[in-house]
Each structure stands twice: as structure tokens, then as C-alpha cells.
Amino acid sequence: MALLAAHSPGWCWWRLAVLVLLALLGTEVSAQAKVQANVQDYQVEAVYLFNFTQFVEWPSAAFADEQKPIVIGVLGDDPFGAYLDETVRGEIVGNRPLIVRRYRRIEDVEVCQVLFISRSEVEHLEAILGRLKDRSILTVSDADGFTQRGGIVRFVTQNDHVKLRINVEAAKAAGLTISSKLLRVADTVSAEMD
């Protein structure tokens, strides 16, 4: 809620008005609210995607050279819309600018540091993760059982809060160094769990 309060007063007023309207409309309104909540979750997740770049160290081999940007990729249907682009615009992390790339298929993925795998790609998850196995890419998804299947970070929504679940072994295998601070705020899992 604190994060929501951070938005502009105008937006807050509008949100309250919508909530009051939804409460008057009953179950119809309830379903509508769920859609709204999902939108909010994706906005948070977009910010988290950006924030990962600050808590994760990639091996130098992950970049072509010093000036190359950090690429946040989205594989499959993009749930963030323009919000992700807005979030990373103008940001520089460790002298590197950030850019967002969207991929339809795993084969399209070239140089990429963070890859969000959309729910639309759940069926191909094994193949996707298999392909990415030897590459230093932080794989992120909100799909169920993502970390058990070899993904590195999963967004878990609990009590309207987006939580993190991290497969440390997978990260290690990908040659990534995840900040202990990040690990502190996340649930860490091994392949057998979940």
C-alpha cells in the first residue's frame, strides 16, 4: 500500500473513485478488480525486473564489451506494455544503459541479461530453459513451478504482494552472482523443492 501511496494524488483520487464504483457493482466489479490487481502486479514486476540489474552481477563474458547495454528481454506475450519501457528509460546501471527487447520465440533471443518468460510460453518452458542452460541470463517468470524446472527467479503473488523465489543453484549454474541482499528478501529454493 505504501507503494501505491507513492503515486500522484490525482491518481489516488481516481483509484478511490473506481473502488467505490466497483463496490457498488458487486461481483461484476470484483472480477474487474482482479484484472486491475493483475495490472498492478505487472507494474511492480516491471520495476523488479529493472531492480534485478542492480543486485545481480553478470560475468564479463555476458557482454560484448564495456559499453554494451543491459538488455531486459520479454519472451512471449508482454504483460508489461509500455510500463517496462518507461521504467528503464534513461536509467544507467554500472555505466550501462538499459534497453528492453521483446522476443516471440526462444530462437530470437540473442544477447540478453534478464529474460522474462511470459505465461504464454509455459508449454515450451523445458525447451526454453534447456536452450538457455549455458548462458548467463537471469531467467524470470511468474509461471508456477518455474524455479523447480530450472528457472532462476519466480514472482509469487501472496496477499497482494509480489514475492521472489530464487533458485540459487540455477543462478550459480548460469554464472550469475546474486547479491546476498537480494537473497535476503527472497525465498531461496533448490530443484527438489516447490
Least separation in angstroms between CB 30 and another protein: 25
Q: What is the DSSP string of the chain?
A: -HHHHTS-HHHHHHHHHHHHHHHHHTHHHHHHHHHHHHHHHHHHHHHHHHHHHHHEE--GGGSSSTTPPEEEEEESS-SSTHHHHHHHTT-EETTEEEEEEEESSGGG--S-SEEEE-GGGGGGHHHHHHHHTTS--EEEE-STTTTTTT-SEEEEEETTEEEEEEEHHHHHHTT-EE-HHHHHHSEEE-TT--
Distance of closest approach, residue 11 Cβ to another protein, in angstroms: 12
Q: In the complex, which residues of this chain contact another protein (CB under 8 A)?
A: 2-3, 5-6, 44, 48, 51, 53-55, 91-94, 161-164, 179, 181-182, 184-186
Shortest distance, position 183 Cβ to another protein, whole Å: 8
Burial group, residue 76, by CB count within 10 angstroms (0-12, 13-18, 19+): buried
Nearest distance in Å: CB 63, another protein = 15
Q: Which is nearer to another protein, 27 or 158 (CB)?
A: 158
Least distance CB 43 / another protein (angstroms) = 12
Nearer to another protein, 72 or 128 (CB): 72
Closer residue to another protein in complex, CB, 58/103: 58
